[in-house]
């Protein structure tokens, strides 16, 4: 059980994933949430640095006592490498 929220870590992770998907400020369906004690780890990718920072803001607002580790990657948007030739 989480000492902070009083719920099993599996339910806490599921609830945080739904918040990330359903809050209009984040609207991210592909973020993985892992809970280890009072620590929450986020992984996956988003399209901008601001989207990454919104994850912090939304989760901190919901669960200010949890220690959040935002390991989400910002997707690259540069030119591609060599094309793939399909024969």
Partner 1 sequence: MIRIAAVGDVHLGEDAQGRLRPALEKLPEHADVLLLAGDLTRHGTPEEARVVAREFHDVGVPVLAVLGNHDYHADAASEVTGVLTDSGIEVLEGDGTVLPVGGKRLGVAGVKGFGGGFEGRCASAFGEPEMKAFVGHTVEIADKLRTALDSLACDVRVALLHYSPVPDTLHGEPLEIYPFLGAYQLGEAVDATGTDLVLHGHAHMGTERGVTPGGVRVRNVAQPVIRSAFTVYCLDA
* DSSP one-letter code for 27: -
CB of 65 to partner 1, least distance (A): 28
**What is the rounded CA–CA span in Å between residue 46 and residue 63?**
21
Q: Are 75 and 47 in contact (CB under 8 A)?
A: yes
Binding mask 18-57 for partner 1 (x = CB under 8 A): ------x--x--x-------------xxxxx-xx------
Tokens of 17: 């994933």
* 3-class DSSP state of 76: coil
CB of 36 to partner 1, least distance (A): 18
**What is the rounded CA–CA span in Å between residue 87 and residue 39?**
49
Q: Does 3 bind partner 1 (CB under 8 A)?
A: no
Binding residue for partner 1, selected from 6, 10, 64, 79, defined by CB under 8 A:
79
Residues contributing to the site for partner 1 (CB under 8 A):
24, 27, 30, 44-48, 50-51, 73, 75-81, 83-87
């Amino acid at each position: 059980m989480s000492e902070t929220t009083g719920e099993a870590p599996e339910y806490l992770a599921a609830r945080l994933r739904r918040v990330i998907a359903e809050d209009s400020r984040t609207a991210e369906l592909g973020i993985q949430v892992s809970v280890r004690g009072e620590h929450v780890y986020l992984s996956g990718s988003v399209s901008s640095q601001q989207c990454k920072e919104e994850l912090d803001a939304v989760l901190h607002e919901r669960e200010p006592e949890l220690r959040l580790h935002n390991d989400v990657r910002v997707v690259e948007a540069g030119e591609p490498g060599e094309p793939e030739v399909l024969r």
